[in-house]
Amino acid sequence: MSNSQHDIIVKVKAEYLPEQSSPPDRRFVFAYHISITNNGSHKAQLLTRHWIITDGEARTEEVRGDGVIGEQPYIAAGATYQYSSGAIIKTPVGSMHGSYGMMDEQGLVFEAPIKAFSLAVPRMLH
């Protein structure tokens, strides 16, 4: 149920971490930097996260948990909360998408969707 009081915008920037990756071992490590902006009219708290991580061979892993990076931040109306985290997949290309479980100051729980974004090793020079 979406309405004007819940307007959470999630932006993601992902980057490949070659120094932590090991392609021969099928270990591709990515960092992702999230910015969550509350364009709604009420303060909201991020309670839970739900990620679906898919690698290039269509293997999916679901991750559910409380908060993000050990926090359950309150995001004031008009404010932005930012954090960085990481993911490891077995292929050079994959994607992630999901949602945050949020609660407004009236105690109403709602979902803030996270659009799919790519995890991809930049073109390697041969």
* pTM for the model: 0.90
Smallest CA-to-CA distance from 14 within 86, 100, 113, 114 is with: 86
**Higher per-residue confidence, 112 vs 1:** 112
pLDDT tens digits, one per residue of 58-105 = 999 999 999 999 999 999 999 999 999 999 999 999 999 999 999 999
Helices (H) and strands (E) in the chain, counts: 0, 8
pLDDT tens digits, one per residue of 27-64 = 999 999 999 999 999 999 999 999 999 999 999 999 99
Residue with tokens 């004007």: 4
Residue with tokens 């999901």: 98
The correct CATH number of 8-120 out of 3.30.300.130, 3.40.1390.10, 2.60.40.1470, 3.30.450.20 is 2.60.40.1470
- Residue pair 9/34 in contact (Cβ under 8 Å)? The answer is no
59-69 b/e (C-beta count within 10 Å ≥ 16 → b) = eeeeeeeebbe
Domain positions in the chain are 8-120
